[in-house]
Amino acid sequence: MSRNLNNVSPMHGHPWTSQRRLLLELLHDAEGYVDAKELYRRASARDESLSPATVYRSLNLFKELGLVDEMRLGKVRCCYEIKRASEHQHLVCQGCGKVIEFQSPYVRKLIQAVRHEYGFNVTKAQLYLEGYCLECQEKEKSDSPCAATQGKHHE
Amino acid sequence: MSRNLNNVSPMHGHPWTSQRRLLLELLHDAEGYVDAKELYRRASARDESLSPATVYRSLNLFKELGLVDEMRLGKVRCCYEIKRASEHQHLVCQGCGKVIEFQSPYVRKLIQAVRHEYGFNVTKAQLYLEGYCLECQEKEKSDSPCAATQGKHHE
DNA sequence: TTGAGATTGCGACTCATTCTCAATCAGATA
DNA sequence: TATCTGATTGAGAATGAGTCGCAATCTCAA
């Protein structure tokens, strides 16, 4: 078991409470991003007395300690996911809401370019791409053959 | 005058009210991004009776009509700016809060790559880079010579 | 000038997130 | 293991961005 959720605390001296253990465990198991609300829903299913404030407080702590990544995926709410070794970015489909992860060497190149041209030392890069996934484009095409791939014609 | 703020409405049939005229004018003059709150502050200085709700409603309409770009620059609030011909991205300095605009051909390449690899049709791309600008790095260096360029060691 | 329909201001509302504070807990020490 | 101290927690109030409903007002086409 390489996750060190059991004995060694990754909390840098902050107390390793049952609430934090539960929340980190759920974040690990989430396989992707969750927002605070959803995390609270899942957590309170296992610990009734847990309060939303604790979820927010813990997420902020995890963020500070670099245990989770915070991102905005087009919604008002932030989403969180356990920090992984590989950097990746997100495609968000405006049609079905699906989030696709992807990696690209261009992100690294971009960061290098920014460092060279502006002397800017990048600590966090988030690329957010919105659009339509393949399935939604197909669906659109069969609904109205002429207006395909354009999307968002009316509400 | 090429701004067409006076006679021809860019509103696609939506009434060209004094409030909307004022807000668009302020957005034009803003030279960069403003958030809804700041826009309301500036607008209500010139029209006391203007309500915050109108600012939000107008910004949503402008967004829908493609007159402004909406982005999140690390804060909870959204920021808005008049849509310009040239695409650009933002660097946000964690030290001084400064926002630097930049352009890079890699963004376009990235979008092409995404289209090829995932068949994803990108309609909006936002790259958000956080880090430390040159000045803040210099300042940091002179404050603590060893911990330079790292940033965020403690609160 | 008129009338229909859209927009506005207002105030109430929603909803995410933070704050306050007393009770409780984690973890170091004896 | 018992004790102690400071950090964390739950509960609920507070904050603050953004939305909604409605009556009054405005825009604009006829």
Could you give the angle at the alpha carbon of A22 between the alpha carbons of A19 and A24, nearest 5°? 105
Mean pLDDT, residues B91-100: 84
Instruction: Give the pLDDT mean for A113-137.
Output: 89
In sequence order, the 6+-apart residues with CB closer than 8 A to the CB of B40 are B50, B52, B55
Q: Which of residues 74-93 of A touch strand D (CB under 7 A)?
A: 76
Residues A30-54 pLDDT 10s: 988 899 999 999 999 999 999 999 9
- pLDDT of B56 strictly over 90: yes
Higher pLDDT pick, B83 / B40: B40
Q: Are B81 and B97 in contact (CB under 8 A)?
A: no
Interface of B with A in 55-94 (CB under 8 A): 72, 91, 93-94
pLDDT digits 0-9 by tens, B121-155: 998 888 888 899 999 999 877 776 554 444 433 33
Nearest protein residue to nucleotide D7 (CA to C1' distance) is A15
CATH code given to domain B1-84:
1.10.10.10
Q: Measure A7 CA to D17 C1' (Å).
A: 41
The CATH superfamily label for domain A86-155 reads Ferric-uptake regulator, C-terminal dimerisarion domain (3.30.1490.190)
Domain boundaries, chain A: 15-84, 86-155
Q: How many angstroms from the chain centroid is the CA of residue A42? A: 16
From the candidates B117, B127, B134, which should be mutated to test the interface with A, based on the most A CB atoms within 10 A? B127
**Nucleotide closest to residue B78 (CA–C1'):** D17
For chain A, the farthest-separated pair of C-alpha atoms sits apart, in whole angstroms, at 61
Q: Find the helix or strand (DSSP H, E) in which A129 lies.
A: strand A121-132
The reply to whether B15 Cβ lies less than 7 angstroms from strand D is: yes
CB B9 under 7 Å to nucleic chain D = yes
Residue B17, pLDDT > 80, answer yes
A9 interfaces chain B, CB cutoff of 8 Å: no
List Cβ<8 Å contacts ≥24 apart for B74-77: B74/B128, B74/B130, B75/B35, B77/B35, B77/B36, B77/B37
Q: DSSP alpha helices (H): ranges in A65-133?
A: 105-118
- What CA–CA distance (Å, rounded) separates B102 from A144? 38
Residue contact A119–B137, C-beta within 8 A: yes
A133 → chain B, closest CA residue: B120
pLDDT interval class at B92 (50, 70, 90):
confident
Which residue type, as a one-letter code, is found at position A93? C
Amino acid at A47: D
Closest CA to A152 of B43, B3, B64: B64
What CATH class is the domain A15-84? Answer: mainly alpha
Give the residue-averaged pLDDT of A107-115.
91
Answer whether residue B15 shows pLDDT above 80.
Answer: yes
B51 touches strand C (CB under 7 A): yes
Please tell me the predicted confidence (pLDDT) of residue B122. Answer: 92
Q: CB-based contact (8 Å) between A149 and chain B?
A: yes
The residues pairing with B131 across neighbouring beta strands, listed in sequence order, are A122, B93
Q: Are the CB atoms for A90 and A73 separated by under 8 Å?
A: yes
